[in-house]
Amino acid sequence: MNVATALTAYDFDEIDRISREDLAAMARTIDEERVYAEDIMRAYGKAGAYGTHLGGIDGDVDLSSAVMAMARASEECLSTGFCVWCQDTLAWYIASSDNGYLKSEILPKIVAGDSLGGTGMSNPMKAMGEIEKMRLQGERVAGGYKVKGMLPWVSNLLEDGYFGSMFHVEVEGADEPKRVMAIFHAAWDGIKIKLDHDFVAMGGTATVNVQCRDVFVPDEFILGDPAGEFIQRIRPGFTLLQCGMAAGIIKNCIDLMKQVEGPLGHINQYLDKQPADIEAEYNALVADVLEMCKTPYDLSDAFYLRVLKARLKGGELAMEAAHWAQLHMGARGYVSRGAAQRRLREAYFVGIVTPATKHLKMLISKLEAAQAA
């Protein structure tokens, strides 16, 4: 069953209206004053933005509408576009699991935007890639796990929100700890969240440090135990959805360049990249992404490699498009109210959020080496 059809109809015209009227008017405040657009995040839920990609592993699944809604938000404001990704990804974890309790009790609230939340998977993904150590440690207790540790950043998270993450559990006699993935509720005993705004952009993302002190995670909240197979299941969709952020910011940068064609075209024509050049690459990327959106549970290495390459291209093109938007706009884009300088700061986030450019290059290089062997 598609949760969206059951709960909230997808209304792209309304998502477009919210983005054009409400979000565009707030984008500068969100950036400068680090305001989290909570009402807008909830309104997107009412417009069905978070519910179209949730048919589950045996269902009818297409990520296209989720990507397009996220792109529309990101076109105006990447902080909010990223929060849409956080919400979509939280829902994606639950819908992709075999956990009936989470699907019936928690997922509907996330789809409707009544509960907001995100994902603390950067550290686990880097730990699985042996880039850094796993930060959360768990211990089996009656009816669940007791978890401790700290996640430095989880976005779109309020005091009563949910997030997905992973912890290590030492297993007697085993060489390696077991990985367990679960949904956490920020209001549980032992969890403390603290806002972190110390960024050059993306301050409107409700990004918090999450401290876990002997937090009890009940069995009903487990997504994968051990998590290996579940991770294989969710990783193409997790990564592909992020292309929505890239698509939105690239499109806006192309529009910014076009806006100054009249007054500045006579001189901007000497710049190495023109809006049409970026647009051709953008169109090719979006076509590739939307095609892959139809099969997000393709678990083959070949498909994952294609997803990783599209995600890498999305980050690189976002940073490049923002660079050319700034040069085309000139001083108009460099003043504090100018969109180009904000887009430039935001675009680098697409290149550094997990999987970051360097992480993607490592994964691509390892997968290509395995295929060649």
Footprint on this chain of ligand FAD (rule: CB under 6 A)? 86, 118-122, 132, 152-155, 199, 202, 205, 207, 352-354, 356, 359
Choose between 153 and 230: whose C-beta lies nearer to ligand FAD.
Answer: 153
Judged by beta carbon, residue 86 or residue 116, the one nearer ligand FAD is: 86
Nearest to 8 by CA among 94, 80, 158, 109: 109
Report which of 241, 227, 251 is spatially closest to residue 321, judged by C-alpha positions. 251
Q: How far is the CB of 107 from ligand FAD (least distance, A)?
A: 19
Q: How far is the CB of 317 from ligand FAD (least distance, A)?
A: 18
Structure tokens at 289: 């992404």
Please, what is the minimum distance in Å from the beta carbon of residue 116 to ligand FAD?
12
Burial of 58 (0-12, 13-18, 19+ CB in 10 A): exposed
210 or 329: CB nearest ligand FAD: 210
**Token match 């207790």: residue?**
141
55 or 355, CB closer to ligand FAD?
A: 355
- Shortest-Cβ-distance residue relative to ligand FAD: 122
CB of 120: closest distance to ligand FAD in angstroms? Answer: 5
- Least distance (Å) from ligand FAD to the CB of residue 151? 6
Q: Which is nearer to ligand FAD, 59 or 152 (CB)?
A: 152
Least separation in angstroms between CB 295 and ligand FAD: 25
Least distance to ligand FAD from the beta carbon of 313, Å? 18
Which of 132, 170 has the CB closer to ligand FAD?
Answer: 132
Residues in the chain: 373
Q: How many CB atoms are closer than 10 A to CB 200?
A: 10
Of 305 and 353, nearer to ligand FAD (C-beta) is: 353
| Closer residue to ligand FAD (CB): 86 or 278 | 86
Give the shortest CB-357-to-ligand FAD separation in angstroms.
Answer: 8
